[in-house]
Amino acid sequence: MKIADIKGYELSIPSGPYDWSHTIGPARGKRNAFFTRVIAEDGTEGNCISIERGSILSTIFHNTIKPLAIGAGVHDRERLWQQLLKVSRSEHYNFFGMGAFDVALWDLAAKQAKLPLYKYIGAYRDKILAYASTFTFDSIEAYQENCKKYVKQGYKAIKLHVHGIPDVDIEICRAVREAVGPDIKLMLDVSGAYDQMNALRVGRELEKLNFLWYEEPLRDFDLHGLKQLNRKLEIPLCTAEQASDINFGVANHILHETSSMVHASWAMKAGITGLMKIAHTAESFGLSCQVLHSEIPGIHTSLCIKSCTYFESIVPEEAFHLCVKNPLIVPDSEGYIHPPEGPGLGLDIDWDVIDNHTVQEI
- Indicate the pLDDT class of residue 150, thresholds 50, 70 and 90: very high
3-state secondary structure the chain: CEEEEEEEEEEEEEEEEECCCCCCCCCEEEEEEEEEEEEECCCCEEEEEECCCHHHHHHHHHHHHHHHHCCCECCCHHHHHHHHHHHCCCCCCHHHHHHHHHHHHHHHHHHHCCCEHHHHHCCCCCCEEEEEECCCCCCHHHHHHHHHHHHHCCCCEEEEECCCCHHHHHHHHHHHHHHHCCCCEEEEECCCCCCHHHHHHHHHHHHHCCCCEEECCCCCCCHHHHHHHHHHCCCCEEECCCCCCHHHHHHHHHHCCCCCEEEECCCCCCHHHHHHHHHHHHHHCCCEEEECCCHHHHHHHHCCCCCCCCEEEECCHHHHCCCECCCCCCCCCCCEECCCCCCECCCCECHHHHHHHEEEEC
pLDDT for the residue 27: 56
pLDDT for the residue 24: 62
- Rounded to whole angstroms, the Cα distance separating 100 from 95 reads 9
CB 61 within 8 A of CB 97: yes
CB 329 within 8 A of CB 119: no
CB 148 within 8 A of CB 172: no
Query: Mean pLDDT throughout 92-114?
Result: 94
pLDDT for the residue 167: 97
pLDDT at position 310 over 70: yes
pLDDT at position 92 over 70: no
Neighbours of 350 (CB within 10 A): 14
pLDDT for the residue 293: 87
Least confident segment among 36-40, 205-209, 242-246, 278-282 = 242-246
pLDDT for the residue 245: 86
pLDDT, the chain, mean: 94
Query: Mean pLDDT throughout 105-113?
Result: 98
pLDDT for the residue 169: 98
- Residue at 211: amino acid letter: F
Q: Which residues pair with 7 in a beta bridge?
A: 37
For helices 94-112 and 77-87, the axis angle rounded to 10 degrees is 170
- Rounded to whole angstroms, the Cα distance separating 255 from 268 reads 20
Distance, CA of 76 to chain centre: 24
Which comes out higher in pLDDT, residue 22 or 61?
61
pLDDT at position 344 over 90: yes
Query: Mean pLDDT throughout 195-212?
Result: 98
CB 40 within 8 A of CB 3: yes
pLDDT tens profile 37-78 = 999 999 999 999 999 999 999 999 999 999 999 999 999 999
